[in-house]
Amino acid sequence: MSENRNQPLIEVKDLKEYFDINMGMFKTKPLKAVDGVSFSINKGETLGLVGESGCGKTTVGRTLLHLYKPTGGEIWYNGKKLETPADIKEFRKKATMVFQDPYSSLNPRMTVSDIIGEPLDVHKLYKTKEERMERILELMDHVGLNSEHASRYAHEFSGGQRQRIGIARALAVNPDFIVCDEPVSALDVSIQAQVINMLIRLQKEMGLTYLFISHDLSMVKHISDKIAVMYLGSIVELGTPDVIYNRPMHPYSKALLSAIPVADPDGNWAKKRIPLTGEVPSPVDAPAGCKFWKRCPYAKETCKEQRPALRELETGHFVACHFTEEL
């Protein structure tokens, strides 16, 4: 895997996902959930995607897997552009998703063996029923579930166990790439560490590539090789965890990271907090120019008129800000 680690498995170029919102009187207006997002993920790596609730993180993941049809942009997998329905079907054999809510993402009328076996049925990945069951039990063992659980239903399990079932289902097609959409946000803190450590172990054992979506900044730092910070449908900063956490350059990244609670008995962390004034603009009516200028303490006239490009300021560190060098 090490020799392929510098080769992009997933490339996203200027991805857009707009939803038409009914404004009344037969008029519609686009809600720009994802607006010109670009990034790449190398084989065996994890890209962490962070940002406020509603910034478009989940929509990026779902659009990437064509659960939503992209409004614009390009998606490349292993050096090949996804264009035809046949390309997308083949891609879905190698790309899966772990959903946020383990309580609603599993069918309550299906047994665990049927839930995990469903991708095998869809893609016809077995020849006999014995082979199918053998694969299901192997997947259950991978995620720490006992074989006797196979005949039970989802409601009989705890949240952590349900998420393990969801992960086993995602692994059923033997994927190269998994979108992890806040996979531990609905779980207890003690269970979160178990699931995250399991994802890291599976990545090492199976050579998996992750897009890890979360609003838990400390968790993302722990699991990611690169981190992208999103704001209102666009990426404003992209770099390694060390750079993003220790030397953030975009004003929004600085404010976001300053909000991480720190165990400091003297309360000194409160002095370093960077408060943001104003409300997050609506993606239906996003401001012209830089989307952050209304809340940015450093905004100038240029920010109101021109949208900043995502520029590489140093190797592997990209920032979308007109005045980064001056801050």
Domain range enclosing 207: 2-94+175-242
- Is there a domain that residue 200 lies in? yes
- Is there a domain that residue 153 lies in? no
What integer pLDDT is reported at residue 6 of this predicted model?
A: 74
- Is there a domain that residue 316 lies in? no
- Is there a domain that residue 161 lies in? no
Q: What is the pTM of this model?
A: 0.91
What length does the chain have? 327
pLDDT band per the 50, 70, 90 thresholds, residue 244? very high
30-50 pLDDT, tens digit per residue, is: 999 999 999 999 999 999 999
What integer pLDDT is reported at residue 2 of this predicted model?
A: 44
- Is there a domain that residue 51 lies in? yes
Contacts of 149 (CB under 8 A, 6+ apart): 112, 140, 157, 161
**What is the Cα–Cα distance from 116 to 145, expressed in whole angstroms?**
12
What integer pLDDT is reported at residue 11 of this predicted model?
A: 97
- Please determine, for residue 193, whether its predicted confidence score (pLDDT) is greater than 70: yes
178-192 pLDDT, tens digit per residue, is: 999 999 988 888 888
Position 244, amino acid: I
Contacts of 128 (CB under 8 A, 6+ apart): none
What integer pLDDT is reported at residue 326 of this predicted model?
A: 77
Closest-CA residue to 38 (of 29, 54, 27, 49)? 49
Other Cβ atoms less than 10 A from the Cβ of 183: the count is 28
What integer pLDDT is reported at residue 263 of this predicted model?
A: 66
CATH of the domain at 218: 3.40.50.300
What integer pLDDT is reported at residue 5 of this predicted model?
A: 63
Say if CB 5 and CB 42 are below 8 A apart. Answer: yes
Mean pLDDT over 216-243 rounds to 94
Handedness of CA 75, 49, 233, 313 (dihedral sign): negative
- Is there a domain that residue 270 lies in? no
270-280 pLDDT, tens digit per residue, is: 557 788 887 88
307-317 pLDDT, tens digit per residue, is: 999 999 999 99
Q: How many domains does the chain have?
A: 1
- Is there a domain that residue 17 lies in? yes
91-105, 145-159, 272-286: range with lowest mean pLDDT: 272-286
- Is there a domain that residue 297 lies in? no
The whole-chain average pLDDT of the chain stands at: 91
Mean pLDDT over 133-155 rounds to 94
What integer pLDDT is reported at residue 4 of this predicted model?
A: 57
- Please determine, for residue 3, whether its predicted confidence score (pLDDT) is greater than 60: no
High-pLDDT (> 70) share of the chain, %: 95
195-220 pLDDT, tens digit per residue, is: 999 999 999 999 999 999 998 888 89
- Please determine, for residue 327, whether its predicted confidence score (pLDDT) is greater than 90: no
pLDDT band per the 50, 70, 90 thresholds, residue 1? very low
Question: Strand order in 72-77's β-sheet?
Answer: 27-42, 8-24, 72-77, 80-81
| Of 255 and 325, the one with more pLDDT | 255
| Of 199 and 262, the one with more pLDDT | 199
Mean pLDDT over 229-258 rounds to 94
Closest-CA residue to 286 (of 94, 33, 44)? 33
Mean pLDDT over 240-260 rounds to 92
